[in-house]
Structure 1
């Protein structure tokens, strides 16, 4: 925002880029009223980092952890405080609203907490102890929602809230993430209408060409902020704006709407954060930073498939090439690093990074470890792999060539050692912290492949497991917590600290981080193979006047002319500051 420009004048100019036929001054007044903002408000300072090296986030469903006679949100809060208060700074609770399908992503009421999960008071208690991320399921809404029932009845609010098209329209260019039909026939008081369903017939796309829909969501955002939510995950936002005859993904209006939402959010709560969820090829994903005026964070969607591919092939060439191509995030923006989530391992983010044979080899390996594959339909009618559905612990149970081996736990920890050290904010899916395997019973029960990595756990049984010394769940949990604790004390692991890729061969993946004050350097070096590797310290260029120690093992480097021996899947963080 330029000097002397008010919030309202900035907002009007942005709205005019989207709603050319509207009186944008009036629309701006309505949005400011919905958000509770004054139009003459001063600009929010740009390029502010609302995170540091201590930020580590957890991803979980509201009802992943359960205890008899207790609401799951109460149970979740209790487990977070007991087991993770010293490890995480924030928690992403996946959609906790009333829903009709897709484990919460088919929202029926944006302003209510699912009664089976708990209440807004439970949400506020969690937000009082942790930074809270919530989903703004902004692209679509449940076909069983009140808005959609009003659409059928031709009543407000809802009559013009959903995107319609005709089977006669040329939709051949539309990019699809699913194989289901794009249009669904619906009987209304005005006869048959065809609504646009990017994901399923129960998830009907909203029509943001109607500014009333934007106004509704601004009011929803304000309510979330008032309940303590400070991080907004814009779900499936790439598909937000539709124009017949275009791919209907990444349209400029979508980018402008994200800028508008960010502008309003940060003027209401200057420390709030916007994250875009765009499971697309890497170059497309990067566009959601804008000019540091769209998303504060973007999901690093290429990291999970590339890192898993690296560890099962024992070759880091593609991971290293990708890391060298990633631009440093501007101040006020950064990456959200994750390896696993409630969804599968996306294959679209490997476009341009892995060739077709390499993709198929990865798919074959994951299937041999018990994984499944979900597909999307291309413009020419072909079904292409969209994501691999598998629990991360089982995804790393062996190698592409050798199959299942005894290095599963070491390989799994190595993956997270790498993630924790990379530029950006690390996020752990709860089932990764717990080293949960494939849940075939849940897949059978729900009929959905993604359920393989969405197990529900008895909290009391979890307490028992984590208190024991000899099961892999407890061993992994303790080691990951230990690594998290180390990471959170290092200025060189600030999400925006300098990062350079090292060249140490194909079996060793390394990079260098340096703190903003240049008072700490960390060389992060990882053996991504099942064979022992010897690394000459001269190849790393450690400064001879500094004292170097491996933060992970405590090993002190006594002879800089010597070497470091890395066992299979061992990582070291060589730092000149303890």
Structure 2
């Protein structure tokens, strides 16, 4: 279906009308729409993007890494990362999320000084382009805030130049009681400027100053940044902290209608500029609010499945899948053109807000206490009535699963692999943090040196030492990588693991967590069943209602079902992917 530039212009004007309905713009909406079209270099094309077209399949697996997660003497880290990707992951991974690779002042990259350049300590745009030529590249659009050391903020203080009117301010006397915060630091930062004392809004930290999207020049600047990233090979945009984008004093300042409409606008601009580029919204918020960012297949292409990490960890340390199963049954299937982005470990930690309303307060307390006993740290947030609540558990996933609520045990690695076998089989696109693929443990030295809780899960490997570990069969790093690659390579060959393939939750009690996947063309079924306890558990094949005329085999162990009346004993933390259609090398 063809479209005209005028059609796109009208669509953009519709978005702008919804965003700026209560804002007096310095120019007409039509002029602003024309400016955005020109920045994105959108012109008449032959095909109109379809909101219900899947830009992904079962082959898509995303590796998540900092640009300098692996370092080598006398070599820029982005080159080292590229070498590492090609040496160990190329057959399993087709997409890479490089966490913010721009000049920054804090928060390991999420306080951006300059959006238009690559951090010289990591490499340059040529290194980014080289990686994007071999892998689908995902990059962060840190859109809610920037660094207080940015040129924009310097101009804000000076009262002139680009950025002098880019930042959101409020007054200490304003009613800010309903503002939702992910941090305990003061919301407003007192700043002396050439125009007097200003109180700058800081959702996250006083080095991360919030931008004011009521000013259309801020919008135009970020559209220019998006165009630059597309030109450098970025195909997947991660909208960082997008839920906090629009602020109205006297409200919660989270998930406001203008924020959702801004996502719709940016999607329109991105998909008309590059039809196979996609948006993933990073919204570490309660589950129901998170789902809203799908819109009607017209907002985010993908949303982070933030409730999965705390629920899955809770399941595996308690040996009870009740909460995970209840949540799974409540999750709507993603429409074509949208998909869940599944992950269980990230550069931050295991968020607890997405577990609110899903886990009881007592369960959350048990989870927090267990992670602390495993060496983890807890980050806190301000809640209602001056309460302080746990916001995030900072710990590597490998150490988080070293035991149960009763303490560490001998099943740590099996429990860790089970978590990934479950995650890789779920509806959605899997994202794997590099330190999970490498079986990295807590970095207490980095935690001590930085005094930042999240540093515990941001280890920086020496390339030669890592290679030595990966070539040593008895090391946990070698064993984890080998087992993880085995799972990924099986997953990629199964049509029933397409991110939008049918999924139903199975009722197998509290100790066996199970679900059924069916390929879009209905030719393949896979029953995924995991023993979430530290004891052997029997599974009756009759409980799965397998079709007797088919031959069934577990893709992971390659063990066959000999008789439909059989019982299958699952070892502690064993997961099976039972299929009627074998497609495995």
Q: TM-score range by the shorter chain?
A: over 0.9
Please state whether the residue corresponding to 1:135 is helix, strand or coil. Answer: strand
Please give the alpha-carbon distance, in whole angstroms, between the structure 2 residues aligned to 1:40 and 1:31.
17
Indicate the residue corresponding to 1:486 in structure 2: 490
Indicate the residue corresponding to 1:231 in structure 2: 236
Indicate the residue corresponding to 2:67 in structure 1: 62
Please give the alpha-carbon distance, in whole angstroms, between the structure 1 residues aligned to 2:179 and 2:93.
40
Please state whether the residue corresponding to 1:526 is helix, strand or coil. Answer: strand
> What does 1:131-170 correspond to in 2, within 5 Å?
131-170=136-175
Q: Gaps spanning 5+ residues in structure 1: where?
A: none
Please give the alpha-carbon distance, in whole angstroms, between the structure 1 residues aligned to 2:410 and 2:215.
57
Please state whether the residue corresponding to 1:230 is helix, strand or coil. Answer: strand
| Residues 181, 203 of structure 2: 8 Å contact kept | yes
**In the alignment, which of 535, 544, 547 is matched to residue 543 of structure 1?**
547
| Residues 237, 279 of structure 2: 8 Å contact kept | yes
Quote how far apart the aligned CAs of 1:267 are. Answer: 0.7
| Residues 7, 39 of structure 1: 8 Å contact kept | no
Indicate the residue corresponding to 1:122 in structure 2: 127
Residue 362 in structure 1 maps to residue 367 in structure 2 = yes
Q: Per-residue displacement from partner, 1:195-238 (whole Å, max 9, x unpaired)?
A: 00000000000000001100000000000000000000000000
Please give the alpha-carbon distance, in whole angstroms, between the structure 1 residues aligned to 2:327 and 2:103.
40
Quote how far apart the aligned CAs of 1:2 are. Answer: 12
> What does 1:345-424 correspond to in 2, within 5 Å?
345-400=350-405, 402-424=406-428
Please give the alpha-carbon distance, in whole angstroms, between the structure 2 residues aligned to 1:41 and 1:139.
34
| Residues 231, 272 of structure 1: 8 Å contact kept | yes
Residue 533 in structure 1 maps to residue 537 in structure 2 = yes
Residue 254 in structure 1 maps to residue 255 in structure 2 = no
Provide the alpha-carbon RMSD of the alignment: 1.2
Indicate the residue corresponding to 1:577 in structure 2: 581
Indicate the residue corresponding to 1:104 in structure 2: 109
Indicate the residue corresponding to 1:272 in structure 2: 277
**In the alignment, which of 440, 444, 456 is matched to residue 440 of structure 1?**
444
> What does 1:491-502 correspond to in 2, within 5 Å?
491-502=495-506
Indicate the residue corresponding to 1:202 in structure 2: 207
Indicate the residue corresponding to 2:474 in structure 1: 470
**In the alignment, which of 319, 335, 344 is matched to residue 330 of structure 1?**
335
Please give the alpha-carbon distance, in whole angstroms, between the structure 2 residues aligned to 1:93 and 1:381.
37
Quote how far apart the aligned CAs of 1:156 are. Answer: 2.2
> What does 1:161-180 correspond to in 2, within 5 Å?
161-180=166-185
**In the alignment, which of 520, 534, 537 is matched to residue 524 of structure 2?**
520
Indicate the residue corresponding to 2:306 in structure 1: 301
Cα gap change, 1:569 to 1:111, in 2 (>3 Å)? same
Please state whether the residue corresponding to 1:380 is helix, strand or coil. Answer: helix
Please give the alpha-carbon distance, in whole angstroms, between the structure 2 residues aligned to 1:360 and 1:39.
56
Quote how far apart the aligned CAs of 1:470 are. Answer: 1.0
**In the alignment, which of 514, 535, 539 is matched to residue 510 of structure 1?**
514
Indicate the residue corresponding to 2:558 in structure 1: 554
TM-score under structure 2 length normalisation: 0.97
Please give the alpha-carbon distance, in whole angstroms, between the structure 2 residues aligned to 1:320 and 1:539.
17
| Residues 174, 379 of structure 1: 8 Å contact kept | no
Residue 242 in structure 1 maps to residue 247 in structure 2 = yes
Quote how far apart the aligned CAs of 1:344 are. Answer: 1.1
| Residues 32, 39 of structure 1: 8 Å contact kept | no
Please give the alpha-carbon distance, in whole angstroms, between the structure 2 residues aligned to 1:379 and 1:507.
36
Please give the alpha-carbon distance, in whole angstroms, between the structure 1 residues aligned to 2:581 and 2:2.
41
Indicate the residue corresponding to 2:16 in structure 1: 15
Q: Gaps spanning 5+ residues in structure 2: where?
A: none
Indicate the residue corresponding to 1:313 in structure 2: 318
| Residues 282, 349 of structure 1: 8 Å contact kept | yes
Please give the alpha-carbon distance, in whole angstroms, between the structure 1 residues aligned to 2:225 and 2:385.
38
**In the alignment, which of 560, 565, 576 is matched to residue 569 of structure 2?**
565
> What does 1:27-66 correspond to in 2, within 5 Å?
27-38=32-43, 43-66=48-71
Q: Per-residue displacement from partner, 1:396-425 (whole Å, max 9, x unpaired)?
A: 01101x211000000000000000000000
| Residues 344, 390 of structure 1: 8 Å contact kept | yes
Quote how far apart the aligned CAs of 1:464 are. Answer: 1.3
Q: Per-residue displacement from partner, 1:521-557 (whole Å, max 9, x unpaired)?
A: 0000000000100011001000001110100011111
Quote how far apart the aligned CAs of 1:444 are. Answer: 0.6
Q: Which moved more, 1:165-174 or 1:13-22?
A: 13-22
Please state whether the residue corresponding to 2:209 is helix, strand or coil. Answer: strand
Cα gap change, 1:397 to 1:445, in 2 (>3 Å)? same
| Residues 3, 46 of structure 2: 8 Å contact kept | no
Please give the alpha-carbon distance, in whole angstroms, between the structure 2 residues aligned to 1:478 and 1:395.
20
Please state whether the residue corresponding to 2:514 is helix, strand or coil. Answer: strand
4+ residue runs over 6 A deviation = 1-5
Please give the alpha-carbon distance, in whole angstroms, between the structure 1 residues aligned to 2:558 and 2:78.
39
Aligned length: 577
Q: Which moved more, 1:382-391 or 1:114-123?
A: 382-391
Quote how far apart the aligned CAs of 1:131 are. Answer: 0.4
Please state whether the residue corresponding to 1:169 is helix, strand or coil. Answer: coil
Please give the alpha-carbon distance, in whole angstroms, between the structure 2 residues aligned to 1:12 and 1:230.
25
Q: Per-residue displacement from partner, 1:154-200 (whole Å, max 9, x unpaired)?
A: 11211110001000100000000000000000010011100000000
| Residues 531, 572 of structure 2: 8 Å contact kept | yes
Quote how far apart the aligned CAs of 1:42 are. Answer: 5.8
**In the alignment, which of 443, 458, 463 is matched to residue 462 of structure 2?**
458
Please state whether the residue corresponding to 1:51 is helix, strand or coil. Answer: coil
Quote how far apart the aligned CAs of 1:13 are. Answer: 1.0
Q: Per-residue displacement from partner, 1:421-460 (whole Å, max 9, x unpaired)?
A: 0000011101101111111110111110000000000111
| Residues 2, 47 of structure 2: 8 Å contact kept | no
